[in-house]
Structure 1
Amino acid sequence: MKQLPIPVLLQPNMAVPLEVIVTSDSSSQLWNTTVFDLHSGSSLISYRGGNSTSRTLTVLRGEFLLSAQLGKNFINAWEIQRKDQLQQKIVCPGVVTCITASPNGLFLAAGVNEAIYLWEVASGKLMSILTRHYQDVTCLKFTDDSSHFVSAGKDNLALVWSLSRLIQLDSNHTPEPCHVLSRHSLPITDLHCGLMGVQARIATASLDQTVKVWELSSGELLLSILFDVEIMSVTFDPCEYFLFCGGSDGNIFQVSLCSQSLSRDKSFQADHSGNQVFKGHRNQVTCLSVSMDGSLLLSGSHDETVRLWDIQSKQSIRCLTHKGPVTNAFIMAAPANMFVPDSRPAVPLPRFSRHVQTSEANSGVSEEVCVRLGLYTQVSLWRRILLQYKRAKRPPLGVTVSLHKLIQK
């Protein structure tokens, strides 16, 4: 049996990789999670302690690695650069089925059986418990601007949640989703949120052999694709030219989203217009991820392998053998602290509460929160853009006069 590559220690004169592969499998014979170099396939870091449930491996603030223990009621947490020391266990009221962290690092959401628990990371406060699903939650994803997240479950439903509504909601009112996406007829196995924040498109995969694409802002169904097999995983490329769907038979289906003949309901057929099939896995494909430049596709399978594919040629260019069915596999930008052993997180993880704290529980002191998500991030971005155009003596295109005056203050 092939062995995983021996971890490589980065030397002072070695370049830190821009993107890395992060994987886990169900066996945990050697380690829980491994980080590989995207281009060489070398093993860079391994995190020890337990094993990770599918769709629970996530990076928080670029400083912590989190994953739920397989079949257990707690979440493991490591500092991103301290691979051998498990930092904390976040105990939950039940078995954790999925986890996602907001891109801005402010919130953590976890599926616990059929409920969704939402925490504020800075304080560890449990902000809300969402009980709108009727069966286990299978996957959770935030939008890239951290304004919304989407949940999907075995009840065939995908729900769109507004984070600002949940935070400001009166504790006497039951939280409700913005949209209920209810066109699947069997459990949803995976979902993916595209870019562009509230203007993003969502893809959902299901055991009903379909993948559906939705508009997040309206909840409208844009596209439904029928396959010959159950679909276990789904993702877009960064430009959303293609949709990649992992089948229960080991095949990966590439669907062109730019075809002029694209109708709302269609059946998948391989052709020369962008619809193709990647063949190589021998069992269901449970994980899919695309590199930032859109040239490489990563797939993880229950055949105990992770494969890296060249999207243009459809050829498998690397195979990483694991000791058990792959539970998580994705490509991500390497956090700055990952390869700096002496670095420490700017803010340590707090203790995460297991109960929602009401105003009555806080010594009778009422609290009102008004949140404007992403304002700091947006202003910082516009400051950088304006600096680039400063010598041109004019604001860049798309900057309104009022926003321009606000940023100049």
Structure 2
Amino acid sequence: MAAPLEVVISSDSGSQLWNCTVFDLHSGSSLLSYRGGNSAARSLAVLRGEFLLSAQLGKNFINVWEIQRKDQLQQKIVCPGVVTCLTASPDGAFLAAGVAEAVYLWEVCTGKLLAVLSRHYQDVTCLKFTDDSSHFVSAGKDNLALVWNVCSVVQMDLSHSPEPRHVLSRHSLPITDLHCGHMGAQARVATSSLDQTAKVWELSSGELLLSVLFDVEIIQSLNREKSFQSDSEGNQVFKGHRSLVTCLSVSMDGTLLLSGSQDETARLWDVQSRQSVRCLAHKGPVTNAVIMAVSANMFLPDSRPAVPLPRFSRHLQAPEGPDAEGGGAWVRPALHAQEEEESYLQKADRLYSLMHAVSDKALCGDGENSALRVAELEEEVQTLKKVNKDLFEFSSQLLTKPT
């Protein structure tokens, strides 16, 4: 039988023999099982298509498997506290985890802990990167969602604390989950909360675009606030679970919906007919359920990752081991981007071209967003020019220094 293009990967809080399982999307048969512990909710991540990571339920470490070696843990990443959420950047360059009210950000290629962001007032509940890995969003029990620019977070000036690009503060109760759409910095972000609302935001401006209320009377405090109601026949409702739904995912073609529930099942639904087409039984409440594309070596037991995963540091920019060098963290691009790196002048020229391109409304939206984007690009150009000037002066000093 040919290998599937998409699979279901799920975990629950009650299994004793395995942590998470890979199911065939169309037949429902079990294909792989990864052994060792139990995964916490919103803590399952695939790194570079080569490693599967999950935060241990109620513990202070992250389990790591090579994705094709299901029976053997490769390593455990020890954290300073219980990990509440976990995510990896799509380009494979960064790994982020929520620990209490802080967000920890590692550089994958070196294992160095680059930043500890403590801008939330209560526990962080969810983390997501944008599809271009330029931003990530953190949300927590303090009712806030914070938008972070990766470039501003990953910096070597320890005296300067990174600030979020936007603070999304319109929820009145803890945020339970979030989703980032496509188009990078121009994406939409959706958040859900215990205040019985789901809200849609514009990532570039931080503006609230839509608020949807569920199972409550409409309170018209915003002119873009709407209610969610099914019709008399319940045609907008997928009925089948007997308890709370904990996670949702959609197939690439949009025809299948996957839902995980505290009733110890994960269900696949036909979106058009809203009928349950398959029920995947679990041993406990489902904590993670996602439809994902099959990586190249998932079903090749003899394959190995192209680059081994390093040991991850437990301390902020602290050297570990006898051969470690002091100083700041050296940030490297993702593996596929290391072959051709732009010079500072090339980056400045490219950014200058982009500054003129944003005058086209179709590129960045309305005039307000264009002005905001132009201001950001101008600031970036000035920074690159200063760095280039400093490098030139430093090189001149080395060349003219008497021997």
- Tell me the TM-score normalised to structure 2 length: 0.78
SS at match of 1:168: coil
| Correspondence list, 1:37-48, <5 A | 37-48=24-35
CA distance in 2, matches of 1:99, 1:366: 25
Count of aligned residue pairs for this structure pair? 334
What is residue 132 of structure 1 aligned with on the other side?
119
In the alignment, which residue of structure 1 is the partner of 2:159?
A: 172
Match of 2:308 among 348, 370, 378: 348
Residue 168 (structure 1) shift = 2.6
Shift of 1:196: 1.0
Note if 1:198 corresponds to 2:185: yes
Kept in 1: contact 2:93–2:333 (CA 8 A): no
Q: Compute the displacement of 1:364 (Å).
A: 6.0
Query: Contact 2:135–2:147 (CA<8 Å) still a contact in 1?
Result: yes
Question: Which residue number corresponds to residue 406 of structure 1?
Answer: none
- The corresponding residue for 2:74 is 87
For residues 339 and 243 of structure 2, what CA distance do their matches in structure 1 show?
42
Aligned to 1:153: 140
2:208 equivalent in structure 1: 221
> Is residue 146–residue 373 contact of structure 1 (8 Å, CA) maintained in 2?
no
Q: Which amino acid aligns with 1:316?
A: S
Q: Alpha carbons of 1:206 and 1:144: their partners in 2 closer, same or farther (altered >3 Å)? A: same
Secondary structure, counterpart of 1:278 in structure 2: coil
Task: Measure the CA separation in 2 of the matches of 1:227 and 1:377.
Answer: 50
Between Structure 1 and Structure 2, the one with more helix by share is 2
Distance in 1 separating the partners of 2:326 and 2:57: 40
TM-aligned CA distance change 1:162 to 1:371, over 3 Å = farther
Change over 3 Å in CA distance of 1:321–1:366 after alignment to 2: closer
CA distance in 2, matches of 1:139, 1:372: 24
Say which of 128, 131, 142 aligns to 1:144: 131
Structure 2 SS opposite 1:93:
coil
The offset of 1:375, in angstroms, is 6.6
Native 8 Å contact 1:58 1:65 kept in 2 = yes
Mapped partners of 2:293, 2:339: distance in 1 = 18
- Tell me the C-alpha RMSD between the 2 structures: 2.7
Counterparts in 2 of 1:97-112, with a 5 A limit?
A: 97-112=84-99
Query: Once superposed, which parts of structure 1, at least 4 consecutive aligned residues long, lie more than 3 Å away?
Result: 361-379
Q: Secondary structure at the match of 2:176?
A: strand
**C-alpha contact (below 8 Å) 2:109/2:332 kept by paired residues:** no
1:93, CA displacement in angstroms?
0.3
What's the CA shift for 1:263?
Answer: 6.3
Q: CA deviation at 1:22?
A: 0.3
Give the alignment partner of residue 276 of structure 1, picking from 225, 230, 236: 236
The residue type equivalent to 2:206 in the other structure is G
- Contact 2:98-2:124 at 8 Å conserved across structures: yes
CA change 1:312–1:50 in 2 (3 A) is same
* Aligned amino acid, residue 214 of structure 2: F
CA distance in 2, matches of 1:374, 1:264: 42
Q: Give the greater-gyration-radius structure (CA).
A: 2
Q: Do the aligned partners of 2:156 and 2:329 also contact (CA within 8 Å) in 1?
A: no
The alpha-carbon distance between structure 1 residues 363 and 289, as it changes in their structure 2 partners (threshold 3 A), is: closer
Q: Deviations over 1:115-170 (max 9, x none)?
A: 10000000000000000001110000011111110010000000000111111352
List runs of 5+ in structure 2 lacking aligned partners.
Answer: 217-221, 342-361, 363-403
Alpha-carbon deviation of 1:271?
Answer: 3.6
Residue identity opposite 1:338 in structure 2: M
- Contact kept, 8 Å, 1:35 with 1:43, in 2: the verdict is yes
Write the mapping of 1:286-301 to structure 2, written as runs, cut at 5 A: 286-301=246-261
Amino acid paired to 1:339: F
For structure 1, the 5+ residue unaligned runs are 1-13, 230-261, 380-397, 399-409
Sequence identity percentage: 77
Matched, 1:21 2:8: yes
Letter matched to residue 155 of structure 1:
D
Question: Structure 1's 275 and 64: CA in aligned 2 closer, same or farther, altered over 3 A?
Answer: same
Give the Cα separation in 2 of the matches to 1:364 and 1:78.
30
1:329-348 to structure 2, matched below 5 A, reads 329-348=289-308
Q: What's 1:58 paired with?
A: 45
Contact 1:164 1:372 in 2 (8 A): no
Any idea what the Cα deviations from partners look like across 1:69-96, whole Å, max 9, x if unmatched? 1000000000000001111000000000
- In structure 2, the partner of 1:251 is none
Could you say what secondary structure the match of 1:165 adopts? helix
Instruction: Single out whichever of 29-38 and 365-374 deviates more from structure 2.
Output: 365-374
Secondary structure of the residue aligned to 2:49 is coil
Displacement of 1:30: 2.8
Instruction: Tell me the alpha carbon deviations over residues 264-285 of structure 1, each in whole angstroms, 9 at most, x when there is no partner.
Output: 201111149x971111111111
Equivalent in the alignment of 1:395 = none
> Normalized against structure 1, the TM-score is what?
0.77
Given that 1:146 and 1:374 are in contact with CA atoms closer than 8 Å, whether structure 2 keeps it comes out as no
Question: Aligned letter for 2:109?
Answer: A
